[in-house]
């Protein structure tokens, strides 16, 4: 999608559809006469995500006007603007249009709203249907969106929004691929393509290198699959660093999760291709980071495996030795994400990373606790947790801080090893996070469980069904605001 900024008057813009914003309880003077009956009947109320499409409005060059509700006065946030822009684009796609414009006037003509509108329009235009061969019934994408606004710093804001939106779509392109096509090595190839296109450094550790290093936890998960594992390491180094920090963004990359020997129920197992969604978000975030050029070093690590119940598969009761040297008793092979992440966390520390953020579709327990509304956040460091929650709020990726009381560690005590990989059914998201905390040690660390928010089972008004790219926006915001 082409995204442009126009400083002209909205009335003079020649476009197939012009998106105009209407606040709840008000009447736009430029539409009052032409749409008097629509306002009088209550068809146009200005409620958030309410859309009314009208043709041939006097005083406007645009062929159509899409009156778009922003909700109550002063309540629309930048995250809400991204949703509004995405929903408007998706509404217009169904009308067979090729170009559109969105007017941001008055209080909405700011850099923050311009950035959000550009990001939302780009992500709203995405669809998961690239493998469909019969396409006559599918909505065609909008080819061009023009943001109409006036003010300072808007060009760079528009560019930021487009960069983050395009990165989110890259992550969604990767996450939606079927598991027969997106194997661990194919995921590594996708990361190589992103690295080559954006000037990133990439290193992909194969099975032999991981064995030499001693990544027994990660390799144990991969034993049951014919597909080789990979540890993908993408690195960004700023031209001039203003901070001595080195951030690690770690994303779980299980390209398909059967549960292994502790096999999952057949019903819904096809969704388990999304178990690498956080890894895809880390790859997409690195594309955005490379283009936005922050002044802090960032390394993304994506441990990529397929969890299968093959004849060589890891068994419940096995004990593996992790890269840290700690031994882990595997009581359930479906608790595999924490096993691959613990070695990635240790490796990030060995690479010199000073702050760690890992994200994973880790537990069904977090979805039970928080539903599909918020991701769960766990941390051993108050300052890093505060930075992360602020970054997620600005990104419009709602999250909630969860507890890490020492009592959760009691559930992970093992008679035969240093730690076991599951506790009881109670507090499952907390015990999973406590397992990872063991390997983070004293390094400032945040764990984000996105099992409930990384995938939409049904489309939203502003986003297609399928991967959401959460927590890509939070990754990028954390890095771009780092001090």
The residues carrying an active-site annotation are 264, 338
Residue partners of 449: CB distance under 8 A and separation at least 6: 360, 361, 362, 363, 366, 375, 376, 377, 378, 402, 429, 432, 433
Which of helix, strand or coil describes residue 16? coil
Residue 261 token pair: 């020997």
| Radius of gyration over every alpha carbon of the chain, rounded to an integer in angstroms | 24
Closest CA to 399 of 457, 467, 474: 474
| Torsion-angle region of 352 (φ positive above 0: left; ψ -120 to 50: alpha; else: beta) | left
DSSP string, 36-47: HHHHHHTS----
CA–CA separation, 123 vs 154, rounded Å?
Answer: 19
Query: In Å, what is the CA distance from 401 to each residue of 316, 449, 455, 481?
Result: 31, 11, 20, 20
Closest CA to 283 of 204, 188, 393: 188
DSSP string, 393-417: HHHT--EEE----THHHHTT--SSS
Closest CA to 309 of 258, 256, 272: 258
């Amino acid at each position: 999608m082409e995204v442009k900024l126009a400083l002209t008057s909205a009335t003079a813009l020649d476009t197939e559809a012009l998106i105009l914003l209407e606040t709840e309880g008000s009447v736009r003077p430029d539409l009052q006469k032409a749409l008097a009956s629509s306002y009088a009947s209550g068809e146009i109320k200005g409620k958030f995500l309410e859309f009314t499409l009208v043709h041939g409005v006097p005083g406007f060059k645009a062929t159509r006007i899409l009156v778009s509700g922003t909700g109550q006065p002063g309540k629309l946030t930048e995250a809400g603007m991204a949703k509004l822009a995405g929903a408007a684009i998706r509404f217009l796609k169904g009308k067979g249009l090729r170009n559109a414009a969105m007017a941001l006037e008055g209080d909405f003509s700011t850099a923050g709203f311009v950035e959000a509108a550009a990001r939302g329009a780009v992500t709203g235009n995405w669809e998961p249907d690239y493998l469909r061969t019969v396409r006559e019934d599918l909505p065609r994408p909008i080819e061009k969106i023009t943001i109409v606004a006036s003010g300072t710093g808007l060009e760079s804001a528009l560019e930021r929004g487009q960069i983050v939106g395009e990165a989110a779509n890259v992550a969604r392109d990767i996450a939606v691929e079927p598991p027969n096509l997106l194997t661990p090595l194919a995921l590594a190839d996708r990361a190589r393509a992103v690295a080559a296109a954006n000037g990133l450094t990439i290193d992909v550790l194969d099975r032999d290198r991981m064995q030499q290093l001693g990544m027994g936890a990660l390799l144990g998960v991969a034993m049951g699959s014919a597909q080789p594992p990979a540890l993908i390491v993408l690195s960004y180094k700023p031209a001039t660093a203003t901070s001595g920090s080195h951030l690690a963004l770690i994303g779980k990359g299980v390209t398909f999760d059967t549960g292994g020997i502790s096999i999952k129920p057949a019903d819904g197992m096809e969704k388990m291709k999304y178990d690498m969604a956080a890894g895809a978000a880390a790859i997409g975030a690195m594309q955005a980071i490379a283009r936005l050029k922050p002044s802090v070093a960032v390394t993304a690590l994506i441990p990529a495996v397929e969890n299968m119940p093959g004849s060589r598969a890891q068994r419940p009761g096995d004990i593996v030795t992790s890269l840290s040297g700690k031994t882990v008793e595997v009581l359930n092979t479906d608790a595999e994400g924490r096993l691959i992440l613990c070695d990635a966390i240790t490796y990030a520390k060995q690479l010199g990373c000073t702050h760690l953020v890992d994200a994973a579709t880790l537990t069904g327990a977090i979805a039970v606790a928080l539903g599909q509304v918020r991701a769960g956040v766990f941390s051993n460091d108050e300052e890093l947790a505060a930075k992360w929650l602020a970054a997620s709020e600005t990104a419009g990726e709602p999250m909630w801080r969860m507890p890490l009381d020492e009592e959760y560690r009691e559930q992970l005590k093992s008679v035969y090893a240093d730690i076991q990989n599951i506790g009881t059914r109670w507090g499952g998201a907390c015990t999973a996070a406590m397992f990872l905390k063991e390997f983070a040690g004293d390094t400032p660390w945040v764990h984000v469980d996105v099992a409930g928010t990384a995938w939409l089972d049904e489309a939203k008004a502003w986003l297609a069904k399928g991967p959401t790219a959460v927590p890509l926006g939070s990754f990028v915001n954390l890095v771009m605001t780092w001090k």
